[in-house]
Amino acid sequence: MQDNIKLKTINLDLFYGKFHALKGVNLEIKKNAITSIIGPSGCGKSTLLRVFNRMNDLIESVRITGECLLDGENIIGSQAGLNELRKRIGLVFQRPNPFPLSIYENVLYGVKIHGLLEKRNPDEVAEGSLRKTGLWNHVKDKLGDSAMSLSPEQKQRLCVSRLIAMEPEVILMDEPCSALDPIATAKIEELAIELKSRYTIVIVTHNM
Ligand code: ADP
Ligand code: MG
């Protein structure tokens, strides 16, 4: 596989029971770039994103054939390393979904449950992650406040910060702006452009 390809699907088919949702998908996702997936509602965009971090494993009726390569290794059907995979490939949801905890606890939530804080200073992880999403200056004096007090755009930035704290390689975004107004949307899109030098980004969007 070429060095600049992070993810690649080969003849990928996905069935929900008898329903054939993804048909022969052959796709290459480049490293350190933003790849947009655009298409009508119900065409399988979210389903495809969920293939990349194996979220479909949670749905009993799902059957997948074909391959999905991450850095050249097939992730379909392998039982090993699901936790490892979810650390490498994070998903940002349509609706910002911070937890009803403080801003500080939200940023560190993923790293804590994955046991990734042992060799890292929590304050530094929190600050670094909040800086990368441009949220630090807004929240540095109120890290103990509830995440629920933030605006929708800030909540979405916080969810991206929470992912970045895990040092992922790929960030999947499923219509991350659909709950935001146009100004907030533009800002989240600018954020994606800033992040692409460090991460591989796949974004489902309606916004050309
Ligand atoms: P999109 O994100 O492009 O709107 P989805 O990936 O959500 O599309 O859905 C693709 C198709 O698969 C749709 O027809 C949808 O109804 C169906 N589908 C999605 N999730 C499930 C599921 N858990 N069980 C059965 N069918 C599903
Ligand atoms: Mg969808």
Is the model's pTM score more than 0.95? no
Rounded Cα distance between 199 and 192, Å, is: 9
User: Is residue 45 within 6 Å of ligand 1 at its C-beta?
Assistant: yes
Task: Please give the order of strands across the beta sheet that includes 34-37.
Answer: 34-37, 200-204, 170-174, 89-92
**pLDDT values of the chain reduced to their tens digit, one per residue, 208 residues:** 678 999 999 999 999 999 999 999 999 999 999 999 999 999 999 999 999 999 998 899 999 999 999 999 999 977 668 888 989 999 999 889 999 999 999 999 999 988 888 888 999 999 999 999 999 999 999 999 999 999 999 999 999 999 999 999 999 999 998 888 888 888 888 899 999 999 999 999 877 7
User: What pLDDT, on the 0 to 100 scale, is given for residue 206?
Assistant: 78
* 88's tokens: 């490498």
Mutate to test the pocket of ligand 1, among 13, 15, 19 (most ligand atoms within 8 A of CB): 19
* 95's tokens: 């609706």
Nearest-atom index, ligand 1, CA of 40? 3
User: Is residue 16 within 6 Å of ligand 1 at its C-beta?
Assistant: yes
Q: How many alpha carbons fall within 13 Å on the CB side of residue 145?
A: 12
- 3-class DSSP state of 144: coil
Asked if residues 87 and 114 have their Cβ atoms less than 8 Å apart, the reply is yes
* 41's tokens: 């509602």
Nearest-atom index, ligand 1, CA of 41? 4
User: What pLDDT, on the 0 to 100 scale, is given for residue 104?
Assistant: 98
Nearest-atom index, ligand 1, CA of 204? 2
Q: Which residues contact 198 (CB under 8 A, 6 or more apart)?
A: 32
Ligand 1 center to 130 CA (angstroms) = 33
Mutate to test the pocket of ligand 1, among 47, 51, 59, 203 (most ligand atoms within 8 A of CB): 47
Asked if residues 33 and 203 have their Cβ atoms less than 8 Å apart, the reply is no
Rounded Cα distance between 25 and 13, Å, is: 7
Give me Rg for the CA atoms of the chain. Answer: 17
User: Is residue 38 within 6 Å of ligand 1 at its C-beta?
Assistant: no
If one counts every other C-beta atom within 10 angstroms of the C-beta of residue 36, the result is: 15
Rounded Cα distance between 96 and 179, Å, is: 8
Ligand 1 center to 56 CA (angstroms) = 11
For every residue of 92-125, DSSP letters joined together read E-SS----SSBHHHHHHHHHHHTT--TTS-HHHH
